[in-house]
Amino acid sequence: MSHFIKPPIQEPIFRHLCLKLSASSRVLISFLALLALPAFAQLPTPLQPLPSPELAQRLKKLESELRCLVCQNQTLAESPAGLASDLRREVRSLVESGKTDVEIKDFLQVRYGDFVLYKPPVDRKTWVLWFGPFVLLGGGAAIGLWVGRRRRQLALTPAISSPAITAKTERTKALLNEEPR
């Protein structure tokens, strides 16, 4: 005998709905749900070919000069990211509207910053980007030279020998030269 009262067993809410449907109805509903799944998939609209090969060449050149904002180390032409696809579409519409390459780059630079350009301009904001690696390389070389000179100086100066250090050194040599038992 238990003094505890057991709570009534809670049944799933949908169990009553499922019991009212026949097996063939359940199969039909499942099949219709599977047929509806492709409606949720999104495919990009295919782009029409450009009217001239010169425009296609210009578009390809522009896409190779612009950086993907998601991948960060790939050009727009190389990137598979969705945002890169949107930017390619934007660049294409600007090319088709008759904008020059400089105008397109300026538009994207204003909108996304210098980072969108694969070769950002040299100005006060980008000095660290352009000259930072050389400064770090020079600093590393200076530290390497300083450490090398310091080692040579230490190697040339005689070691300070006190009687205690000399005694310990001789005892250590004697222990190392001693034959094992």
The answer to whether 72 touches 113, Cβ cutoff 8 Å, is: no
88 belongs to a structural domain:
yes
9 belongs to a structural domain:
no
pLDDT band with cut points at 50, 70 and 90 for residue 86? confident
11 belongs to a structural domain:
no
154 belongs to a structural domain:
no
CATH code at position 92: 1.10.8.640
Q: Which amino acid is present at 141? A: A
What is the domain range of residue 90?
Answer: 53-116
72 belongs to a structural domain:
yes
- Give residue-wise pLDDT tens across range 112-159: 888 888 787 888 887 888 899 999 999 999 999 999 999 888 877 766
Alpha carbon distance 63, 66 (integer Å): 5
Cβ neighbors of 148 (< 8 A, separation 6 or more) are none
26 belongs to a structural domain:
no
- Give residue-wise pLDDT tens across range 30-78: 888 888 777 777 666 666 776 788 888 888 899 888 888 888 788 888 8
**CB-hemisphere CA count at 13 Å for 56?**
7
Give this prediction's pTM: 0.50
31 belongs to a structural domain:
no
Q: Which pLDDT value is given to residue 120?
A: 78
Total structural domains in the chain? 1
Q: Which pLDDT value is given to residue 166?
A: 79
